[in-house]
C-alpha cells in the first residue's frame, strides 16, 4: 500500500513539474504545428518543371486555418540542402535535359524576347492604368487577365533562357541578358507550385486591400471628412459603418490626431484586420519562395533578394552603413521623445525609453514628418510655402510645368505631347483608385505618364519633380534593350528622384522661385529656417532607413530560420534598430509585419534603405558638378548644365552597367561603393544643434527595460520573469500537499 501510494504521489509530482515545462513551450509547439500544415517543408527531392504554357491555380481557395492544425503531430522541421550558388544555370540545363551553346540562337532568342516583352509590358501597363484611373470590376478582371498572361510569358522565357550554356558564350552582353532572365523570379518552382505561389500572394493582397476598420467612438474622436456621423457612439457597433480604409481614412487620422487613445485604437484595429487573417497563408508563401530560391541556386529567398545588389557582402554592407548613421539617429530619437513627453506625459512616453509606435504620425512609424509640430520646441520658423503657392495662383498643371522647366534648365528634354495628353495630374472622380503618386512607362518608347492626386501645397510640388524624374529616367534609357530599361538595382530609380527632391525642396530653390522671401544671406547661415528644414528632412529620411532595415532583416531571418516566434522577432528588430515598441501587448497569434503591404506582396524593401544612402551621394556629386560652395544642404543645382549632363549620362545607361560600374561613372572614378559620408555631411548642422538641445537628457538613444520587452515576448512578464508556465504559489502549495500526504501514508 505504501509503495503504491508512493508511486502515485511521485507520479503527481512529476506531472505537475512536467506541466510547468510543457506549458512554457506550448505556444512554440502550436506555431510549429501550424507552420507544418500551412507550409509543408521540403521532404521531396524535386518538383516538375514548367511544361509549355503555365497552368494557373483555378481550384477552391486553400484553407490554412487553425482548425485544421489540431491533428498535426509535433515534429522537428527539416530543410533540404540548398544547391550551391553559382551553379544555377548548369543545374537548370541538366534538369531540362538540354544544352544550347549556339550564339546565333541566343541572339535570336533575345531579339524575339525584346519585342515580345515590350508588347506584353505595354498591355499590362495599359490594363493597370485603366484600373488605377477607373476602378471598376470589369477593369480589375481585365488587369488580372493581362497579369496572368505576363506571368506565363515570364516563366516560358525563363525556361528557354535556362537552356543556353552561358559559359560558352563569349559576348558578355548576351551572357548578362540571359542571366537577367534566369536568375530572379520564382519560375523554377514548377507549374503547379508557381501557380499556388501566385495565388497565396493574391490572397494576402486582397485581404490587405479590402481591410476596413470600425471608427473610434471615444472622446475627441477625429471627424472623417464630411462623414462625422461615423464617429458617433450610436453607429460604432454596427458593421455597416465599419468601412474605414487605410487610404485615406486611417492614414489621415494617424497623421493628424493627437488623441492617444484614438491613435492606439486605430493602430491596433488595422493590425487585427491585416495580420492574423493571412498569417498561415504567409507561412506557405515562405516555403514556396524558399523552394524557388533553392532551384535558382540560393540557400533561401532572402539571399536571392539580396543578389540583385551586386555585392556579395551586402548583408554586412547595410550593417556597416547603419552603424555610421546610428549616432545621428539616436540624437533624433532623443529630441523627438522630449516633444512626445511634452505632448502626452511620462505616463505614456518614458523619458529614457523607446517611442510608442502609435504616436509618430504614421501607421507604420516609418517616417515622422507629420509630428514636426510636436518635435520642435516652439512655433514654426519657416514661412508658409503652401500658402504662397496658392496666393501666386499655382494649379496642379502649373506645378508640373514648373517641374518640367527645372529639367530643361539643366539640359534634359521636355515632356512629350503624349505626356500632357495622357497623364492624370489630379483626381478626376470617385473611381480614381488609390491616390499614391506614381510614374508610368508604357514600354513603347513614347508613352510616359504620371498619376497623382495633386493638391496645391509644398509636398505635392516637390512630388511633381520627384515623379517627373522617374519619367526622365524612362525617356533616357529608351534606346537600351528591354532587359536594360530599368535601374541597375532596385534603389537607383528612387535615389535619383530623391536627389532632385533635395534640390527642389531646399530653401535656396524656393527662394529662387519667389516662394520664400527669406534673404539669401540668412538662408546660407545656420538659422532656424535651415534647422527646421533639416529637421523636417531628418524626420522623413532617418526613421525610414531604420524601418526599412528592420523590416528586411526580419524577412531575411524568417526566410532563413522559419516563422517560429516571428512576431516577437519583428518587435525585437524594431526596438533594436528603430527604438520603438508597440502600444499594446503582442502575442504569437499576431502578425504585425503583415500590416505592411510590401511584406505580403513579395516586394523588396531594402531598396529604400539603399536609396536613402545613395540619394545623398548623387546629390553631393551633382552639387560638386554645379560648383556649389557652402554647406551641402544649401545646394541647388537648378540651371546647372554640367549637373544635368552627369544625371543624363547615368540615366542613359539603364541596367546595361552594374551598380558598381554606374557608381564609378557617377562619382567620376572616385568610388564604386555606397557611402554615408554625404548624408552625414548634409545633416551636420542639425546634428550639432541636436547635441545642444539634448544636453541634460538621461540617455542619448533609448533604454530597453523588461516592461518594454514584455510587450512582445510571450514568456516575459513586466518584471522580467517568465509569464508562461510560471511556478506560482498555488503550484508550490499543491506539491507540498502531495508530499505531506506521502509521509502520512
- Residues known to be catalytic: 467, 598
Separation CA 561–CA 555 (nearest Å): 10
The answer for residues whose C-beta is within 8 angstroms of residue 237's C-beta and 6 or more apart is none
Do 86 and 223 meet the contact criterion of CB atoms below 8 Å apart? no
Query: How far, CA to CA in Å, does 9 sit from each of 5, 15, 589, 730, 732?
Result: 6, 10, 37, 17, 15
Evaluate whether 644 touches 411 at the Cβ level (below 8 Å). Answer: yes
The H-or-E segment that residue 449 falls in is strand 448-451
Angle at 556 between CA 554 and CA 560, to 5 degrees: 115
Residue of 26, 27, 35 whose CA lies nearest to 586? 27
Residues 6+ apart with CB under 8 A from 485: 441, 443, 474, 477, 478, 654, 655
Look at residues 264, 225, 157, 694 and name the one whose alpha carbon lies nearest to residue 430: 225
Q: Are the beta carbons of 417 and 447 closer than 8 angstroms?
A: no
Rounded CA gap, 600 and 448, in Å? 29
Rounded distance, CA 395 to CA 392, Å?
A: 9
Comparing C-alpha atoms, which of 415, 435, 413, 416 is closest to residue 424? 435
User: Is residue 309 a known part of a binding site?
Assistant: yes
Question: Which ranges of 602-658 would DSSP assign to H, the alpha helix?
Answer: 606-625, 641-653
DSSP string for 296-357 = TT-SSHHHHHHGGGS-TTHHHHHHHHHHHHHHHHHHHHHHHHHHHHHHH-TTTS-TTSPEEG
Cβ within 8 Å of residue 384, ≥6 positions away: none
Alpha-carbon distance of 407 to 76, in angstroms, equals 59
Q: Under a CB-based contact definition with an 8 Å cutoff, are residues 508 and 640 in contact?
A: no
Q: Is the peptide bond before 119 cis (omega within 30 degrees of 0)?
A: no
- With beta carbons less than 8 A apart as the criterion, state whether 154 and 52 touch: no
Cβ count within 10 A of residue 96: 15
Residue 166: how many CB atoms within 10 A of its CB? 20
The DSSP bridge pattern shows strands 438-441 and 580-581 to be unpaired
d(CA 530, CA 80): 56
Give the angle subtended at the CA of 260 by the CAs of 257 and 261, to the nearest 5°. 110
Instruction: Report helix, strand or coil for 728.
Output: coil
Question: Which helix (H) or strand (E) element contains residue 679?
Answer: helix 677-682
Give dist(CA 292, CA 190) in Å, integer: 9
Q: Is residue 494 marked as binding?
A: yes
Cβ contacts of 132 within 8 Å, gap of 6 or more: 432, 433, 434, 438, 451
- Backbone dihedral region of 297: left (phi > 0), alpha (psi from -120 to 50 degrees) or beta? left
Give the span between the Cα atoms of 673 and 317, in whole angstroms. 10
* SS3 letters across 688-704: HHHHHHCCCCCCCCCCC
Cα–Cα dist 393/402, whole Å: 13
Total Cβ atoms within 10 A of residue 316: 10
Do residues 355 and 580 touch, judged by C-beta distance below 8 A? yes
Helix, strand counts (H, E) of the chain:
29, 4
Residue ranges of the binding site for Zn(2+): 466, 470, 494
- List binding-site positions for chloride: 309
Annotated binding site: 309, 466, 470, 494
Amino acid at each position: 500500500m505504501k509503495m503504491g501510494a508512493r508511486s502515485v504521489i511521485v507520479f503527481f509530482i512529476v506531472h505537475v513539474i512536467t506541466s510547468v515545462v510543457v506549458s512554457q513551450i506550448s505556444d512554440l509547439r502550436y506555431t510549429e504545428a501550424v507552420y507544418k500544415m500551412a507550409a509543408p517543408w521540403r521532404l521531396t527531392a524535386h518538383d516538375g518543371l514548367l511544361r509549355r504554357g503555365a497552368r494557373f491555380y483555378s481550384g477552391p481557395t486553400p484553407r490554412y486555418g487553425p482548425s485544421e492544425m489540431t491533428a498535426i503531430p509535433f515534429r522537428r522541421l527539416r530543410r533540404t540542402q540548398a544547391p550551391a550558388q553559382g551553379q544555377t544555370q548548369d543545374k537548370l540545363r541538366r534538369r531540362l535535359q538540354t544544352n544550347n551553346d549556339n550564339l546565333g540562337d541566343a541572339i535570336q532568342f533575345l531579339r524575339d524576347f525584346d519585342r515580345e516583352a515590350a508588347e506584353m509590358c505595354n498591355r499590362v501597363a495599359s490594363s493597370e492604368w485603366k484600373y488605377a484611373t477607373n476602378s471598376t470590376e470589369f477593369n480589375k478582371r481585365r488587369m488580372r487577365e493581362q497579369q496572368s498572361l505576363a506571368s506565363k510569358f515570364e516563366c516560358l522565357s525563363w525556361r528557354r533562357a535556362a537552356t543556353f550554356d552561358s559559359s560558352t558564350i563569349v559576348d558578355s552582353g548576351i551572357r548578362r541578358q540571359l542571366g537577367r532572365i534566369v536568375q530572379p523570379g520564382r519560375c523554377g518552382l514548377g507549374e503547379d507550385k508557381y501557380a499556388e505561389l501566385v495565388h497565396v500572394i493574391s490572397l494576402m493582397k486582397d485581404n490587405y486591400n479590402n481591410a476596413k476598420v470600425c471608427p473610434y467612438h471615444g472622446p475627441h474622436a477625429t471627424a472623417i471628412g464630411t462623414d462625422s456621423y461615423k464617429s458617433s457612439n450610436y453607429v460604432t457597433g454596427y458593421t455597416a459603418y465599419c468601412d474605414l480604409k487605410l487610404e485615406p481614412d486611417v492614414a489621415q487620422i494617424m497623421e493628424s490626431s493627437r488623441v492617444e487613445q484614438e491613435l492606439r485604437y486605430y493602430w491596433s484595429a488595422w493590425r487585427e484586420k491585416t495580420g492574423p487573417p493571412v498569417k498561415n497563408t504567409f507561412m506557405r508563401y515562405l516555403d514556396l519562395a524558399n523552394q524557388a530560391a533553392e532551384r535558382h541556386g540560393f540557400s533561401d529567398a532572402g539571399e536571392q533578394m539580396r543578389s540583385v545588389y551586386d555585392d556579395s557582402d551586402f548583408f554586412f554592407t547595410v550593417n556597416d552603413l547603419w552603424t555610421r548613421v546610428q549616432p545621428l539617429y539616436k540624437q533624433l530619437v532623443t529630441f523627438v521623445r522630449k516633444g512626445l513627453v511634452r505632448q502626452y506625459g511620462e505616463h505614456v512616453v518614458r523619458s529614457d525609453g523607446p517611442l510608442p509606435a502609435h504616436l509618430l504620425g504614421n501607421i507604420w512609424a516609418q517616417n515622422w514628418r507629420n509630428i514636426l509640430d510636436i518635435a520642435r520646441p516652439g512655433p514654426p520658423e519657416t514661412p508658409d510655402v503652401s500658402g504662397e503657392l496658392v496666393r501666386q495662383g499655382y494649379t496642379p498643371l502649373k506645378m508640373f510645368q514648373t517641374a518640367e522647366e527645372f529639367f530643361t534648365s539643366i539640359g534634359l528634354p521636355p515632356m512629350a505631347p503624349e505626356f500632357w495628353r495622357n497623364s492624370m495630374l489630379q483626381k478626376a472622380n470617385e473611381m480614381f483608385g488609390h491616390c499614391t503618386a506614381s510614374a508610368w512607362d508604357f514600354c513603347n518608347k513614347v508613352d510616359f505618364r504620371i498619376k497623382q492626386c495633386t493638391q496645391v501645397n509644398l509636398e505635392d510640388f516637390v512630388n511633381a519633380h520627384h515623379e517627373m524624374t522617374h519619367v526622365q529616367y524612362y525617356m533616357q534609357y529608351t534606346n537600351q534593350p528591354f532587359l536594360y530599361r530599368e535601374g541597375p538595382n532596385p534603389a537607383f530609380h528612387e535615389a535619383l528622384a530623391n536627389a532632385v527632391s533635395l534640390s527642389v525642396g531646399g530653401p535656396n530653390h524656393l527662394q529662387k522661385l519667389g516662394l520664400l522671401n527669406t534673404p539669401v544671406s540668412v538662408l546660407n547661415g545656420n538659422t532656424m529656417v535651415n534647422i527646421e528644414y533639416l529637421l523636417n528632412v531628418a524626420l522623413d529620411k532617418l526613421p525610414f532607413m531604420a524601418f526599412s532595415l528592420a523590416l528586411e532583416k526580419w524577412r531575411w531571418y524568417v526566410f532563413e530560420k522559419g516563422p517560429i516566434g516571428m512576431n516577437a522577432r519583428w518587435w525585437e528588430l524594431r526596438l533594436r534598430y528603430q527604438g520603438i515598441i508597440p502600444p499594446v501587448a503582442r502575442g504569437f497569434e499576431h502578425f504585425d509585419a503583415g500590416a505592411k503591404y510590401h511584406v505580403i506582396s513579395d516586394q523588396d524593401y531594402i531598396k529604400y534603405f539603399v536609396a536613402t544612402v545613395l540619394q545623398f551621394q548623387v546629390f553631393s556629386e551633382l552639387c560638386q558638378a554645379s560648383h556649389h560652395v557652402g554647406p551641402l544642404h544649401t545646394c541647388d543645382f537648378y540651371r546647372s548644365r554640367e549637373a544635368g549632363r552627369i544625371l543624363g549620362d547615368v540615366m542613359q545607361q539603364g541596367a546595361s552597367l552594374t551598380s558598381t560600374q554606374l557608381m564609378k561613372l557617377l562619382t567620376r572614378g572616385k568610388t564604386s561603393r555606397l557611402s554615408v559620408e554625404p548624408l552625414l555631411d548634409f545633416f551636420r548642422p542639425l546634428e550639432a544643434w541636436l547635441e545642444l538641445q539634448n544636453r541634460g537628457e538621461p540617455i542619448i538613444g533609448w533604454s530597453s527595460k523588461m516592461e518594454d520587452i514584455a510587450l512582445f515576448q510571450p514568456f516575459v512578464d513586466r518584471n522580467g520573469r517568465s509569464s508562461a508556465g510560471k511556478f506560482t504559489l498555488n503550484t508550490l502549495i499543491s506539491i507540498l500537499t502531495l508530499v505531506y500526504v506521502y509521509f502520512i501514508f
